[in-house]
Homo-oligomer: A and B are copies of this chain.
Amino acid sequence: MTNHLVLQTDFGLSDGAVSAMYGVAITVDPGLRIFDLTHDIPQYNIWEGSYRLYQTISYWPEGTVFVSVVDPGVGSDRRSIVVKTETNQYIVTPDNGTLTHIQKKLGIKEARIIDENINRLPSSGESYTFHGRDVYVYTGARLAAGVISYEEVGPSVPVDSLVELQITEATAHKDNVLGTIDILDIRFGNLWTNIERETFKQLNVEYGDHFEVTIENDTRQIYKNIMTYGRSFADSHLGEPLLFINSLDKIGVAINQGSFAKAYHIETGTNWKIYIRKVPKIIYN
């Protein structure tokens, strides 16, 4: 049995690009099983590509081969690599920071540079703008199908030579925690922070407790208000904000059936800071 192939790109699904990638993989092995992570990574947004891999790969079996193509440097001398993770999954990608979260949070065992003399779609023409089709999915499909072994990808390189984006960790203090807004739960507009459940719990929290939440973009304050900590959205009234543990075991900020991100024009990145401070229970007289 072959392994599964899972594709992620910033190409969208509105033209033929992703279908050409599927066709290349199916031509490598007509029985190959191919799935999508997402093709809706915002163009050139390596950070988000890195995060979506981190968000999902634990739910896929060992041996799964991921191909992730967010590649603003296509055609430059950036390296093309395949890594083997601590969980024995493979990721085929340009070496541009796409592996940041995987390396920091899940671990990478080994990295190899793709040898394009062997691992490039035959007769792929004089185009240097679609390595997703000509190099990455071709290599990923051959690896998943067992046409090449991991060693045949190309020469090994040190794991610590991989390009990494900057990640900041949340910190806990006496009566507050400080973190950043890492990413959005896009459809629902919930904020996903980098504050782990364990970090948050150092404040001795219980469901129903109240917190003052402050959000800043660089030095500008964007939001400051009190909200409760609930098990899920249904623990707040319709339209009310709340803190909750998201599906990655980190602190999220939501409005029950509304979009927190849209309501306050909040975006993501290390310059979007969030402070959560425990406040005494409020008694309304």
Contacts and interface: CB of A to CB of B under 8 A. Distances in A.
Interface of A: 1, 4, 6, 10-24, 26-27, 30, 34-40, 43-44, 52, 55-61, 64, 72-76, 125-130, 133-134, 183-188, 197, 230-235, 244-249, 252, 257
Contact of A127 (B10, B30, B125, B246): B246
A234 B38 contact: no
Nearest to A1: B30
A235 B72 CA distance: 11
A129 B246 contact: yes
Nearest to A197: B126
Contacts of A245: 125-129
Given A10-B187, A14-B187, A126 B55 contact: no
B13 A36 contact: yes
Contacts of A231: 75, 128
A43 B75 CA distance: 34
A126 B188 CA distance: 20
Given A6-B19, A128-B244, A129-B245, 18 more contacts: A6-B23, A11-B187, A15-B52, A15-B183, A19-B56, A20-B56, A20-B247, A23-B56, A23-B58, A27-B60, A27-B61, A34-B35, A74-B233, A75-B235, A125-B245, A125-B249, A126-B249, A129-B247
A159 B217 CA distance: 52
A129 B19 contact: no
A16 B56 contact: yes
Contacts of A64: 23
Nearest to A133: B247
B127 A59 contact: no
Task: List the 9 closest A-B pairs by CB distance, nearest first.
Answer: A75-B232, A23-B59, A76-B234, A130-B247, A23-B60, A16-B56, A12-B187, A16-B55, A14-B40
